[in-house]
Amino acid sequence: MNEQQRSMLLQSASSFPPPKGTKLSYGTAGFRADASILQSTVFRIGILAALRSLKTGGAVIGLMITASHNKVSDNGVKIADPSGGMITQDWEPFADCIANAPDPESLVQLINEFAKKENIPLDGAKTATVLLGRDTRPSGESLVKAAKQGICSVVGAVATDMGIITTPQLHWMVRARNKGLKASELDYFEQLSSSFRCLIDLIPKKSGDNNPIGKLIVDCANGVGGEKLQVLKEKLNGLHLEIRNSGESGILNEGVGADYVQKEKVAPQGFGPADVGIRCASLDGDADRLVYFTVISNGNNKINLVDGDKILSLFALFIKDQLSILSDKNEYQPRVGVVQTAYANGASTKYLNQLGLEVIFTPTGVKYLHGKAEEYDIGIYFEANGHGTILFSEHFLNWLEGRKNEPSSTTKEKQNAVKRLWAVSKLINQAVGDALSGLLLVEAILQHMGWSVDKWNELYHDLPSRQLKVKVADRSAVVTTYAETSVEKPPGIQEAINAITEKYPEGRCFVRPSGTEDVVRVYAEAKTQETADEVAASVAKLVDQFLGFTAS
C-alpha cells in the first residue's frame, strides 16, 4: 500500500467511527442491524467491495443496501460476487474483521495485511467497479453515500449508483455486466417480459384442465417490488394482475409480505373476504422471496399457503416434463438436482422423490443451496420461505442451443420443449432468488398446465409442523452434521431425539443452532398438528435437560 492510498483510507475512515459496544458479523444475508449504527459498517464494506473487484481482475462487484423482510428501522449491506451470487465465504472473516476494527489505524493495518496476503494491487494500476443499489428504506440514501465514500477511498475504484432497485435486480445486473451482456434495469424488464411472452406463446392449445386461471393479486410488502411489478405489468398482456401494498400508504414489512404470510399463515393487510378463492401472491420487502396463497372463506384471515416447497415442486415437474419430451437414450442426459434444507416439508421431499428426481440436502442458507445447485446441469433450489431459483450449466445451455438449430425433421413437440427450456433459462434469475421472475414463471407454468391455484396446491399435502426456540448461553455448544439433520455434539442427544420421533407416525425432528442469535431451533413434523406439537415440545425439553438451557 503506497502513501497516497494509506492517506486516503485514514482520512475517509476518520469520518465514520464505529459504534461503541457493538459487534457485527457477516451472516447469510450480510450485515443487518438498526440503521442508526450501520454507517461505519457500510463505509467499510464499500472498501471491501472495491478490494474484491481488484482481486477479481477488475470484475464488476455489487453492493446492496437492504434489510429484506426486516422492519423498516433496520437496514443492511451485502456483496454480490462477479457471478451475481453471494460473495465467496472465504472473505466473510475479513468482512467481520474490518467491520469491527476499533479505529482508522487498525482498519488500515487490516486492509494492508489482507491485500498483501491476497496479492491485491493497491497502487492505482488497476481499476475497480462496484454497482450500488438500495431498497425503499428512508435510511438507504445516507448509507449509499457512506458506501460510495468507502469505495472511492480505494485508488482506482469507481462506484455506480443504480438507485432504488430490488436486490435480485442488482445481482442480475452484476452477472450480466460480467458476461458482457446488456445490464440496465430496462434490459432486465425486457428480458423477463419477452421470455414470459415466449412461454405463453408456446402453450399447447389443449393443456391440463384448461381452467381459466383468472386474476392474480400481489401483496408487495409496501416495498420496492410494487413499483417494479407495475413496470412489468405494463409490458405484459397475458397476465391479469392487481397490485396491492405497493408502499404508497402502508409501512414496509408491517403485517404484509412473504415472510409474514409464510410464518403467520394469515392474509396480509389489505386482503379480506372479497378475495376468497382468488389466486394471491406475496413478495418480501426487497422482492427476493415469493409465496402464493388463497384466502379461506371461514374468516379469521386464515389462508391456504402455497410456499417455496410447492413452487419448487411446480418448477421441477415442468422441467422434468420438458426433458422427457426431449429424452433420447442415445443422447446426452442432463443431470437434474433438486436442493432442499432440513426445513423443507417432508411431504415435498417425498413428492420429488416420486417424480424420480435426485434430492440433495444442504445446511440452511442460500449460499449453501446455490453452491450445491451449481454442481448440476439443471439445479433447482427453494427454501420454504420462498427464496430460490433454477441454475442452468453452460454445457446444458450450449446443448440446448444446438438443439434449437436442428433440422426441421425434428418433431414440433421437441422443438417447442427446447424453446420452453431456453425461455425458462432467460426468465428465471440465475444469479439469485427473484420474486418477480419467479412469479412470472409460476404464472406461465400454471397457464401451460391449465391449472388453478387449488389444483397446484393438491400436488401433495404438507405434514403438520411446529418450530420452537430454546434459549442458550452459547449456541456453539450444539454441533450438527448431515446438512443439520443430526446432532453430533453434545453426544447422546441425537439418539434421544430419535427415540422420541419413533413413537409418532411420520415423526421427524431436528435441532440446530441459530445463525443469528443465542438460541437452538427445534423443528418437528408428524401426521397431525397435535402430534407435531408434542414432538417439538418433547425435544425442546430434551435439549433443556441435556444442556441446562431455558426453553422459550
pLDDT (tens digit, 9 = 90+) per residue, 252-272? 999 999 999 998 989 999 999
CA-CA distance, 371 to 367, in Å (whole number)?
Answer: 6
* C-alpha–C-alpha distance, residues 196 and 440, integer Å: 6
Amino acid at 124: G
Other CB atoms closer than 10 Å to residue 116's CB: what's the count?
11
Asked if 108 contacts 6 with a C-beta cutoff of 8 angstroms, the reply is yes
pTM attached to this predicted model = 0.93
Per-residue pLDDT band for 212 (boundaries 50, 70, 90) equals low
Average predicted confidence (pLDDT) for the chain: 93
Greatest extent of the chain over all pairs of C-alpha atoms, in Å: 72
- Give 133-154 pLDDT, tens digit per residue: 999 999 999 999 999 999 999 9
Fold of 201-304: Alpha-D-Glucose-1,6-Bisphosphate; Chain A, domain 3 (3.40.120)
pLDDT digits (tens, 9 = 90+) for 486-513: 999 999 999 999 999 999 999 999 999 8
pLDDT score recorded for residue 552: 43
Catalytic residue among 40, 68, 348, 437: 68
Query: What is the topology classification, in CATH, of domain 309-437+447-457?
Result: Alpha-D-Glucose-1,6-Bisphosphate; Chain A, domain 3 (3.40.120)
Q: What burial letters (b/e) apply to 530-548, b meaning 16+ CB within 10 Å? A: ebbbbbbbbbbebbbebbe
Average pLDDT over residues 330-339: 89
CATH number, domain 3-164:
3.40.120.10
Q: Report the pLDDT averaged over residues 322-348.
A: 90
Share of the chain above pLDDT 90, in %: 82
Q: How would residue 27 be classed by pLDDT, with cut points 50, 70 and 90?
A: confident
Nearest to 216 by CA among 271, 253, 159: 271
- CATH code 3.30.310.50 region(s) in the chain: 465-551
3 state DSSP class of 68: coil
Tell me the CATH number for domain 465-551: 3.30.310.50
Residue 458 one-letter amino acid: E
Average confidence (pLDDT) over 207-225: 80
Highest-confidence segment of 36-45, 400-409, 467-476, 535-544? 36-45
Looking at the predicted structure, is the pLDDT value of residue 515 above 80?
A: no
| Residue where the block lists cell 492505482 | 124
Closest CA to 470 of 364, 541, 365: 541
159: Cα separation from own chain's centroid: 25
Establish whether 83 is a catalytic residue.
Answer: no
